[in-house]
Amino acid sequence: MKAALTKAHMWKAAVDCDHKYDGEFFYAVKTTGIFCRPSCKSKTPNYENICFFPNAEEARKEGFRPCKRCRPDLLENTYDPHLEIIEDTKKYLQENYASNITIAQLAMHVGVSQYYLSRTFKEKTGYTPQMYLSTLRIQKAQELLVTTKENSTEICFQVGYQNFSSFYKQFKKICGCSPRCFRTEKGRKGN
């Protein structure tokens, strides 16, 4: 802890969620038994319930657990919890694109609220989770159209669509043509 950091400075940094102080100190909340980075977006605790530590190890020695949101136990001075949420979401969707996935199931798997997942995913990627899933499904459909003899209806269900009209509409929106035209065009280019 730098000598210039008074308890008042650290309190202000924690209230402001100021990432510039990450690695300079950690704060712990006595009522929850959890310690955080200054940049943590968790609810601001009551002033009388906090204490400050120069490093994560000191907080652990006093019996505090690391926050699951800001991950003060990681060695990096800065940690973006959103990146882990985004990577977990993408991985789950890539592995389960053919399943009927709801935003509620996805949020439960990732461990955040539906609203938080949707907002964070769109903020970081430019897409909603549903848009990302649709893109994955259409990419897989394109691959199957080029590499198999299966018809569009079979491929539609294989990549996770519940009905052909939704598949057709989404395929045309993303690719600019129908599945049949896509197969024909790619077949011509492949020869």
Active site residues: 36
Would you state the structure tokens that stand for residue 180, as one six-digit string? Answer: 């049949």
- CA distances from residue 137 to 161, 182, 188 in whole angstroms, order as listed: 8, 15, 23
- Where b means 16+ CB within 10 Å and e means fewer, 16-51 reads ebbbebbbbbbbbbeeeebbbbbbbebeebeeeebb
First and final C-alpha spacing in the chain = 67
- CA distances from residue 99 to 91, 131, 186 in whole angstroms, order as listed: 14, 15, 27
In eight-state DSSP terms, residue 42 is: S
